[in-house]
Amino acid sequence: MRPATERRDVVPARQRVSSEHQASLDIMSAVFHGVAVSDAMAIMVVEPLGGAQHVSWSNDQAVKLLGYAQEDLAAISFDQLLPSLSGGELRLLLRRERTVRMTLPVRCASGALLECVVAAVPAPGGRRWTLRLSSTSNEAERALRATADAHERRFSTLTERSPIPTLLSEQGMRLAHVNDAFCALVGVQAEELLGTGWMTTVHPDDLDGVIEEATAVLVGGDDAGEGEAKARLVRADGTERTTVIRFSHLFTPGVGAGFVGTIEDITERLAFEARLAHQANHDPLTGLPNRTLLAEHVAARFVPGDVRLACIFLDLDNFKVVNDSLGHAAGDQLLVELAQRLRATVRPGDLVARFGGDEFVVVCQDVGEAGAVALAERIGEALRRPVALGGVELRPAASVGVTVQTAEHTAAEELIRDCDIAMYQAKAGGKGRITVLDSDARAQARDKLRLVAELREAIERREITLMYQPIFSTADGTAVAVESLARWQHPQRGAISPATFVPLAEESGLVSGLGLLVLDETCRQLAEWDRLLGSAAPARANVNVSALQLDANLHGHVASALLRHGLDACRLSIELTESALMKDPASARQVLQELRDLGVQVSIDDFGTGYSSLAYLRRLPVDCLKVDRSFVAELADGHAEITSAVIALARSLGLSTVAEGVETVAQAVELTRLGASYLQGFSLAAPLTGDDAATWFATAQAGGASTVPLIPDRHPDLELM
Amino acid sequence: MTPPAALSRAGTSTLAIAPTFDLERVLASIDSMATQRPVAAQIVSAANSDQASAKELSRMLGADVALAGRVMKLANSAFYGMRGRVTSLQFAVTVVGFTTVRTMATVALTDLDDESRLPEDFWEVSTSLALAASTLAPRFAERPQDALCLGLLAQLGVALLHHNDAAGYAELWATERSFAGRRSAEVQRYGISALRLTAVALQQWSFPAGMVMPLTLVDDPASFQGALLRTAFEVAARLTDDEHEEVPIESVSSGQLRERDVLAVLDQVRTDAQELRTALLS
């Protein structure tokens, strides 16, 4: 027996078919009802009726969309709804084999045309179509379009009115858009710039770079979406603007890649920078390149081992006289005039630079020594032409140094330095000359440079030593003081004369260091003698001071040295040459007064060899005059006039005297007779080392000073501090 | 826009008797074309998508060497100003743009590149039309690239009609020189104008409505949407037909162009047309 459930499933076949048919009908009914009342889609069924297509059915949404009553829709011919498909074109939409989708204007009940997407689906049999209609302008789409339009308008306004020239490409180099600012920049109408027209405004030499950069941006996408190119744009009037074009990648979905280009006109900025660079590298008075540009110019052209460069160094003779007598304005006028002459005289491509003050340098390329000298002569002639300044006619002249590059030149600056040396040689040989620096002169100059470096080291390492020469009183014949004398024993060159190294120190800025060394060492030695000898130590040491040290710092340096070694100021006497004092007597007087106030004595060295004004001498705060050795030497020839006069002058001014270079006992006797206060010379005592001096003074104290043998020194000594 | 006179001339008795013209068959042929050039058909279909990428399109193009070669040639032509810098197919697609690639695929798909099957000066007119539309597009707030493609494809319907009635259409083409006149004659002879046929075809291939709409509105003088194409037809006619009776450009262009501006446009179009034609067809 079958279970009850199985029995219930046994249904007769006819009854089952009928039931399935009923279910299908129910489903169709449900679908149809759903379609009929759907508010999502407007649907119509179209079929031929009486020779024309008619709407045989429509749903509620169709009625709502088009505004017709259902009966009205059925009554009118379908082609009346689609005015754009007149003249039999309805068949383009109502195809038998395929579904057709078209965007068409559909006439509404109000007569207005509503743009719709119409999809016509043919029913089997090919005589009936189901049409789906959807307005292309439903609310959401309208809102989206309005937003998109607003964005578009904002963007358009932004670019149109932007003062920044802007390009917009949507395909390769072809522009879809340029703004007014770009049109104004190049002076061309937009129509002529669109497409590839804008490329004709790019300078031909710069176009490749622009395309290169734009291509990189087009290819690069997000990874390398930006780039820039510097390019000149040629305006319609032929003038050029220098710009930087910055590219950004622009991707439009469904369209492809393009770029946005913004242009910065940097013409003014570059001009300003060029002006600044010009100002930095040129002399404002003459407009000539200055020293900086000269160095760059030579460095850029200097190839070691090559022999193509030549330098001509000019220094105007007596320019200071023009400045002092006619005024600085006249001096400037002269410099401008001579700069013009120089420029007009040199060859094209030669550089004329103002090196400083009244110095000019000409740099030539591809010229030998003969050519450089010929040019220097032409320049000399050009400069000598008369020039009228302030009603005075001048004939300017210059000392000229010429250097041609040789294999020995290893750096550009050596070339300029050498022609500077040549110019000094020319000046030293007499003004208005031309000197070519030959290899001997160059070797001498380099040797001098080496010596300066070695002197600097010697001072730093305190390798400059001092000798001390006793000074005797004529009153009792005892040694009362010493004079400090600097010595340099070079490890390779041997003893170097002070006549060599003192001027060298003055030229190369080392004299201050040298002076301080001598001052400090003298004080140290005095203090040591005090410790060793007690009352037998020299009462005073004379230290020579260079004219270059005669400034406001001298007082401080002297006071500091005395303090450092615990000495009284009366233990020092500062010796200055009369020429040093006469350079700036007022200032010298001030410095000397400060030293006197400190308690230090002041002596005038080599008195009578310079051009002292006796009136100044009277006012200078000095204690002692040193009679120059040349006058003392004349005593042996029976000429005592000058020595006698100097001693008498000192006495009348209340000053003491030291006679230098006393070589013989007869001279010593004669000087004593003439009234000299003190004597100094090899016949009395030669310069001694600090230790020997200690021994010498100890012996003298013991009463044996006069027995000290004479130590002849073949080199006349030059005194310094 | 179509002058009444042109309409009246349309049914000229000089034309041969129209063949039994089966529009259904012509329309069906649009579908069958896809099976003959599947790569081109695939590109026509894919390029419309917002998701289309140069990489994907170039991959597809790689399967149609002739079409790929044309895209490369076009990208390197003076028209795009790239001066031979386009060395990869993907970059070529980027440079010419997706719509242009699609247009070229459409040209290939519909045998428009076979000049022996087209009226004599078909491409001279089409390139002039395309360049005029592209050049003038910004004045009408249209995208030059789309306008170029629309111009290139506008006469697709002409090709379809010519393919189906070579002798008859050639005679119509020779007899009716004005575009408006031709359209009227086409409607008389075939029941549909070539321009309308183009619209149907492009719509069938899902070209954007923005490209199709102007084709349907070109004869409506009140329609601004049809004004660009209408103006481009006038410019092309002035360039290609010595006997063309000029229509005032202000009225054709809905006031967007003045006669004094036309000369510059003519010059530009004339310069680029030959270049474009060479790049597209050779």
Interface ipTM: 0.77
In chain B, pLDDT over 90 holds for what percent of residues? 22
- Residue A711: pLDDT above 60? no
CATH (domain of A219):
3.30.450.20
Last residue of one domain, picked from the residues A103, A137, A171 = A137
What pLDDT score does A611 carry? Answer: 64
Q: Please give, rounded to a whole number of angstroms, the shortest distance from the CA of A114 to a CA of chain B.
A: 14
Q: Please give, rounded to a whole number of angstroms, the shortest distance from the CA of B190 to a CA of chain A.
A: 10
- B residues 131..170 contacting A (CB < 8 A): 134-135, 137-138, 143-145
When pLDDT is averaged across residues A44-49 and rounded to a whole number, the result is 90
Q: Does A160 touch chain B (CB under 8 A)?
A: no
- Residue A154: pLDDT above 80? no
- Residue A141: pLDDT above 70? no
When pLDDT is averaged across residues B185-189 and rounded to a whole number, the result is 90
When pLDDT is averaged across residues B85-95 and rounded to a whole number, the result is 88
Residue A634 domain-assigned?
A: no
- Other CB atoms within a 10 A radius of the CB of residue B56 amount to 17
Min mean pLDDT across A152-166, A478-492, B87-101, B160-174 is at A152-166
Residue A604 domain-assigned?
A: yes
Which residue segment(s) compose the domain that A412 sits in? 282-437
What pLDDT score does A13 carry? Answer: 65
Q: Does B187 touch chain A (CB under 8 A)?
A: yes
Q: Do A92 and B200 touch (CB under 8 A)?
A: yes
- Other CB atoms within a 10 A radius of the CB of residue B176 amount to 21
Residue B143 domain-assigned?
A: yes
When pLDDT is averaged across residues A435-450 and rounded to a whole number, the result is 80
The residue with greater pLDDT, A8 or B44, is B44
Residue B11 domain-assigned?
A: no
When pLDDT is averaged across residues B34-56 and rounded to a whole number, the result is 80
Q: Do B144 and A171 touch (CB under 8 A)?
A: yes
Residue B239 domain-assigned?
A: yes
What pLDDT score does A713 carry? Answer: 37
Q: What is the pLDDT of residues B2-43, one digit of tens each?
A: 333 333 333 444 445 555 667 778 878 877 887 788 888 888
Nearest CA in chain B to A102: B203
- Are residues A262 and A215 part of one domain? yes
- Phi/psi region, residue A377 (left: phi>0; alpha: psi -120 to 50; beta: rest), is alpha
**Which of B53, B193, B203, B266 is the mutation pick for testing A, counting most A CBs within 10 A?**
B203
What pLDDT score does B17 carry? Answer: 53
Q: What is the pLDDT of residues A649-690, one digit of tens each?
A: 999 989 999 999 998 888 888 999 999 999 999 888 999 999
Q: What is the pLDDT of residues A324-365, one digit of tens each?
A: 888 889 999 999 999 999 999 999 999 999 998 899 999 999
When pLDDT is averaged across residues A318-326 and rounded to a whole number, the result is 85
Residue A663 domain-assigned?
A: no
Q: Does B212 touch chain A (CB under 8 A)?
A: yes
In chain A, pLDDT over 90 holds for what percent of residues? 42
Instruction: Pull the structure tokens for residue A211.
Output: 């395309």
Of A173, A176, A253, Cβ closest to residue B82: A173
Instruction: Pull the structure tokens for residue A206.
Output: 């710069």
Band (pLDDT 50/70/90 cuts) for residue A703 is: low
Q: Do A195 and B51 touch (CB under 8 A)?
A: no
Band (pLDDT 50/70/90 cuts) for residue A265 is: very high
CATH (domain of B119):
1.10.3210.10
Of B97, B187, B209, Cβ closest to residue A171: B97
Nearest alpha-carbon partner for A583 in A625, A547, A544, A619: A547
Q: Does B251 touch chain A (CB under 8 A)?
A: no
Residues 6+ apart with CB under 8 A from A37: A59, A60
C-alpha separations of A546 from A512, A568, A589, A618 in Å: 9, 23, 15, 22
- Are residues A296 and A326 part of one domain? yes
Task: Give residue for tokens 């400069």.
Answer: A383
- Cα separation of A595 and A570, whole Å? 10
Q: Please give, rounded to a whole number of angstroms, the shortest distance from the CA of B192 to a CA of chain A.
A: 7
- In whole numbers, what is the pLDDT of chain B averaged over residues? 84
What pLDDT score does A720 carry? Answer: 37
When pLDDT is averaged across residues B176-192 and rounded to a whole number, the result is 87
Nearest CA in chain A to B30: A98
In chain A, pLDDT over 70 holds for what percent of residues? 92
Residue A658 domain-assigned?
A: no
Q: Do B268 and A219 touch (CB under 8 A)?
A: no
- Are residues A287 and A252 part of one domain? no
What pLDDT score does A347 carry? Answer: 92
Q: Please give, rounded to a whole number of angstroms, the shortest distance from the CA of A185 to a CA of chain B.
A: 20
SS (H, E, C) A462-487: CCEEEEEEEEEECCCCCEEEEEEEEE
- In whole numbers, what is the pLDDT of chain A averaged over residues? 85
Residue A332 domain-assigned?
A: yes
What pLDDT score does A715 carry? Answer: 35
Residue B147 domain-assigned?
A: yes
Domain count, chain A: 5
Last residue of one domain, picked from the residues A242, A270, A298 = A270
Domain count, chain B: 1
- Residue A123: pLDDT above 90? no
The phi and psi torsions of A443 (rounded to 5 degrees) equal: -65, -40
Band (pLDDT 50/70/90 cuts) for residue A704 is: low
Pairing of strands A656-659, A678-679: parallel
CATH (domain of A580):
3.20.20.450
Nearest CA in chain B to A104: B213
Residue A114 corresponds to which amino acid? Answer: L
Residue B4 domain-assigned?
A: no
pTM of the complete model: 0.55
- Are residues A48 and A22 part of one domain? no
Instruction: Pull the structure tokens for residue A230.
Output: 């510097």
Residue B7 domain-assigned?
A: no
Of A176, A215, A253, Cβ closest to residue B85: A215
Last residue of one domain, picked from the residues A437, A472, A497 = A437
Task: Give residue for tokens 């460069």.
Answer: A309
Q: Which of A83-87, A317-321, A494-498 is most confident?
A: A494-498
Q: What is the pLDDT of residues A177-189, one digit of tens each?
A: 888 899 999 998 8
Min mean pLDDT across A80-89, A368-377, A607-616, B161-170 is at A607-616
When pLDDT is averaged across residues A542-557 and rounded to a whole number, the result is 89
Q: Do B145 and A171 touch (CB under 8 A)?
A: yes
- Are residues A690 and A556 part of one domain? yes
Band (pLDDT 50/70/90 cuts) for residue A719 is: very low
Q: Which of A582-591, B45-54, B254-263 is most confident?
A: B254-263
Residue A712 domain-assigned?
A: no
What pLDDT score does B234 carry? Answer: 94
Q: Please give, rounded to a whole number of angstroms, the shortest distance from the CA of B231 to a CA of chain A.
A: 16
- Residue A712: pLDDT above 60? no
What pLDDT score does A105 carry? Answer: 85
Residue A309 domain-assigned?
A: yes
What pLDDT score does B229 carry? Answer: 95
Residue B171 domain-assigned?
A: yes
Q: Which residues of A78-101 are buried (b: 16+ CB within 10 A; e: fewer)?
A: bbebbebbeeebbbbbbbeeeebe
What pLDDT score does B117 carry? Answer: 86
Residue B247 domain-assigned?
A: yes
What pLDDT score does A215 carry? Answer: 86
Residue pair A543/A502 in contact (Cβ under 8 Å)? The answer is no
Band (pLDDT 50/70/90 cuts) for residue A709 is: very low
What pLDDT score does A558 carry? Answer: 95
- Cα separation of B200 and B195, whole Å? 9
C-alpha separations of A568 from A356, A523, A565, A571, A597 in Å: 47, 10, 9, 6, 13
What pLDDT score does A586 carry? Answer: 83
Which residue segment(s) compose the domain that B182 sits in? 16-281
Residue A242 domain-assigned?
A: yes
* Side-chain half-sphere CA neighbours of B52 within 13 A: 29
On chain A, the residues whose CB falls within 8 A of the CB of B49 are: 254
What pLDDT score does A139 carry? Answer: 62
- Are residues A44 and A30 part of one domain? no
Q: What is the pLDDT of residues A8-28, one digit of tens each?
A: 455 566 666 677 777 777 777
What pLDDT score does B228 carry? Answer: 95
- Are residues A524 and A549 part of one domain? yes
- Are residues A546 and A515 part of one domain? yes
